[in-house]
């Protein structure tokens, strides 16, 4: 994550926005009154989708269970002809 002051962000906004879009690199903008984060729309949509999926009990539990399962419980890609 890039960290910058609001003054620098204002001077170089085009560069920061392009980098956020091109590299999905969030920008942490610091001001005297607090701070904000600027990110690409793609990164934002991905974050929102993750939060929405995590808030639904069924799929969230299935993902957690699958993450904890040993690898030998899954079909080998070669068996599927991939």
Q: Quick one: tokens of 25?
A: 């690199």
What three-state secondary structure class fits 27? strand
Q: Quick one: tokens of 75?
A: 């079909």
Residue 46 is predicted with a pLDDT of 94
* Domain around 56: 48-80
Structural domain total, the chain = 2
Q: Are residues 6 and 32 in the same domain?
A: yes
Q: Are residues 27 and 8 in the same domain?
A: yes
Q: Are residues 11 and 35 in the same domain?
A: yes
Q: How far is CA 21 from CA 5, 14, 16, 26, in A?
A: 19, 11, 9, 9
Residue 3 is predicted with a pLDDT of 97
Domain with residue 29: its CATH number is: 3.40.1620.10
pLDDT tens for residues 35-82? 999 999 999 999 999 888 878 777 767 777 777 877 766 666 566 565
Q: Are residues 35 and 52 in the same domain?
A: no
Give the count of beta carbons closer than 10 Å to the beta carbon of residue 59: 12
**Cα–Cα distance, 5 to 31 (Å, whole number):** 6
Residue 80 is predicted with a pLDDT of 58
Q: Is the pLDDT of residue 9 over 80?
A: yes
| pTM higher than the cut 0.75 | no
């Amino acid at each position: 994550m890039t960290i910058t002051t609001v003054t620098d962000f204002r001077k170089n906004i085009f560069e920061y926005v392009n980098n956020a879009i091109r590299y999905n690199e969030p920008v942490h903008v610091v001001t005297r009154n607090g701070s904000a984060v600027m990110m690409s729309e793609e990164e934002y949509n991905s974050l929102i989708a993750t939060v929405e999926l995590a808030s639904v009990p069924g799929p969230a539990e299935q993902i957690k269970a699958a993450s904890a399962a040993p690898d030998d419980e899954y079909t080998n890609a070669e068996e599927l002809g991939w």
